[in-house]
Amino acid sequence: MIFRRTTRGESVRGGLRRAQHTATKPVAATSQGTISKYRPKNSPVARAHRFAGGSQPTFHTAANRPLPTSGSGLKIYPLGGQEEVGRNCTVFEYDNDIVILDMGLQFPDEDMPGIDYIIPNVSSLKGKERNIRGVIFSHGHLDHIGAAPILLEQLGNPPIIGRNLTLAMIKHRQEDYKRGTTKNLKTIPIHNISQVMQLGKFTVKFFRVEHSIVDAVGVILQTPHGTVIHPGDWTIEDDPLSGERIDYEHLASLPSPRILMLESLGVAYTKERIPVKVTLANLEKLISEAPGRIIIGTFASQLERITQLLAYAEKIGKKVALDGYSMKMNVKIAQELGYIPAHKNILIPVEDIHKYPENKILLICTGAQGEANAVFARIVNGSHRSVTIKKSDVVVFSSSVIPGNERSIQKIKDQIYRLSDNVIHNDIMDVHSGGHANAEDIKRVLHQIKPDYFLPVYAHYFMLVEAKKLALREGFRDDQVFVLENGQIIEFARNKKPQVLKKKVNTDYVMVDGLGIGDVSEVVLRDRQVMSEDGMLVVIATIYSKTGKLVGNPDIISRGFIYMKDNKDLVEKTRKKITEIVMSGDTKSRAKADENFIKNKLRNDLGQFLFQKTKRRPMVLPVIIKV
């Protein structure tokens, strides 16, 4: 099935309007510190925040509501995120009620030419759409919200739950995907971290987590068969900028059995995490001492870091230009929500940077992962309309390496080293503090929460196994720790041991390519791989429909196989072979009735001939024209 997608840059009409929320009154303070004080009093978001009212009869908050006491066990099955970084999506099912956590995308591997991204496969939920009581989003990173516009539509637009920035980013992505469909979203904002919701038979609570994006939240799902604790992505910051340290000891008092689903991406990282304050101090030093322009590449979602850099630039009198579609949009959303002040006097368009002295310019942009069309790549390739790197520029990579991007990052780093004498990255100076916990943090949380069962999640499979080994070393029994594959179902039932069911749900890749969703199969991908490795050869043969004889010489078109002008001998031999195949007795006798016979014979015989001559197997595409 093909879905229409709008182009980037279209306005997000209504993207920040809130749907009517639950009976719990909103509060102005957030769990992210004093950053909320910057909310403009008369912004559309602030007005909606003050005046939204009413109730949602089916999906509402419910404090201290008693849990149901009957029914089947609690089933948990991941649709993604257990064997890769990305595509995070987990289903919780109890009786006829379903709650989903996150709908993320996964970026394609190098052997997936032409694929934009991969999304979770929700075919196992077909026919159960009415049972979905809500989709909770832990935070606004693409590996957690990126597939939402497609999957929410496929599942009949169930209610979505998240904090303010997360919901606003989903609304923007929804409107960017298909204009005018934001009105179909049913949103339930988490205005208060102590808010309690009843989603069918699930009692849902929330808790604060430390992560590299504003409004990240941990989730608690309570049922009679177990209490699930899922922090989404998380880390531990012992000396946070807000001054308020987060720990998880209070979660140890939740009802047993406690089932901890812990993101374990950093389990193999044994070095001490770089504190955020150290990173910020180093960046401020670079900004203040830069002899010319300073260009900082970071993630578009690093809103807290961008907030601090904007404040420091204003303090020392530098102008700031933001570049990168996603970064500019995220900052705009955060400003409307009041998470970032307006900074009208220091923010300038990137095309105006030439109007100011170079030592007064700070450019913050995307593309430090080496993405082909991102800002860094366009600057390096000389295709950026306003920025060309000079030797005096200070270029900073303030981001971690996303697994799978090592080669592209190294390539762009080498290119920038050729252009600038001042390139800074984490191997030289601590200019980035990651948002994921390390092995010591995982140990600490296991001892703080004291779960009855531990399910490592959201990482490559080997990392999940390493997290299990870590837990076993910390005193957990083997029957307390479960490493699930995508699609595996684990069931928790009162007074019974958890069991992993033999049945698995379908988690085959759903690949998005342009406007097509799921229409690129493994066969198509294999054909693309063949063409990318050995190229293709198009054979155009014209034959008489009555006699089957060949009309003139066949035409040959080579793409990615050989350069025909430099291989005239092979081209002529290939033409003779085509003529031989078409004019052979069995081919000629069947030409009138079976055009497919000629095509198949050309594919097989010519493919074998070319392999003998070149030891390569190009894709042979025969075209038969009858006259």
Comma-separated ranges of CATH 3.40.50.10710 domains in the chain: 276-424
Nearest CA among 202, 196, 197 for reference residue 75: 202
Residues composing the chain: 627
Tell me the three state secondary structure of residue 540: strand
* pLDDT recorded at residue 275: 82
What residues have CB less than 8 Å from 600, skipping those under 6 apart? none
* pLDDT recorded at residue 474: 94
Integer Cα distance of 366 and 324 in angstroms: 5
Mean pLDDT over all residues of the chain? 81
143-151 average pLDDT score: 92
Integer Cα distance of 537 and 549 in angstroms: 22
* pLDDT recorded at residue 478: 95
Fold of 276-424: Rossmann fold (3.40.50)
* pLDDT recorded at residue 121: 93
Integer Cα distance of 208 and 190 in angstroms: 12
Integer Cα distance of 410 and 423 in angstroms: 13
pLDDT band of residue 139 (cuts 50, 70, 90) is very high
327-335 average pLDDT score: 90
Tell me the three state secondary structure of residue 369: coil
Tell me the three state secondary structure of residue 537: strand
**What confidence tens digit (pLDDT) does each residue in 485-531 have?**
999 999 999 889 999 999 999 998 888 876 557 555 566 666 666 66
- Helices assigned H by DSSP within 584-624: 585-590, 595-601, 607-614
Integer Cα distance of 106 and 339 in angstroms: 28
Instruction: Show the CA angle centred on residue 503, arms to residues 501 and 508, nearest 5°.
Output: 125
For the 535-626 domain, the top CATH level (class) is alpha beta
Integer Cα distance of 493 and 497 in angstroms: 7
pLDDT band of residue 113 (cuts 50, 70, 90) is low
**Spatial strand order in the sheet of 97-101:** 187-189, 160-162, 132-136, 97-101, 89-94, 74-80, 488-492, 499-504
- Among 290-294, 300-304, 582-586, where is mean pLDDT lowest? 582-586
Token pair, residue 475, equals 């005193």
* Alpha-carbon 565 to chain mean position: 44
Comma-separated ranges of CATH 3.10.20.580 domains in the chain: 535-626
**What confidence tens digit (pLDDT) does each residue in 543-563 have?**
877 777 778 888 888 887 877
**What confidence tens digit (pLDDT) does each residue in 48-85 have?**
333 333 333 333 333 334 344 445 799 999 999 998 88
Residue 225 clears pLDDT 90, i.e. is over it: yes
Residue 43 clears pLDDT 50, i.e. is over it: no
Rg of the chain, C-alpha, whole Å? 29
Strands 453-457 and 226-230, bridge-based pairing:
unpaired
- pTM beyond 0.85, yes or no: no
- Among 149-163, 297-311, 476-490, 495-509, where is mean pLDDT lowest? 297-311
Half-sphere CA count of 375, side-chain side, radius 13 A = 26
Please identify which residue in the block is written with the tokens 């043969």.
541
Instruction: Show the CA angle centred on residue 257, arms to residues 253 and 262, nearest 5°.
Output: 80
Which amino acid belongs to residue 601? K
Token pair, residue 614, equals 């070149």
Residue 260 clears pLDDT 80, i.e. is over it: yes
Please identify which residue in the block is written with the tokens 């190009």.
618
Token pair, residue 293, equals 């322009």
550 DSSP β-pair partners: 543
pLDDT band of residue 128 (cuts 50, 70, 90) is very high
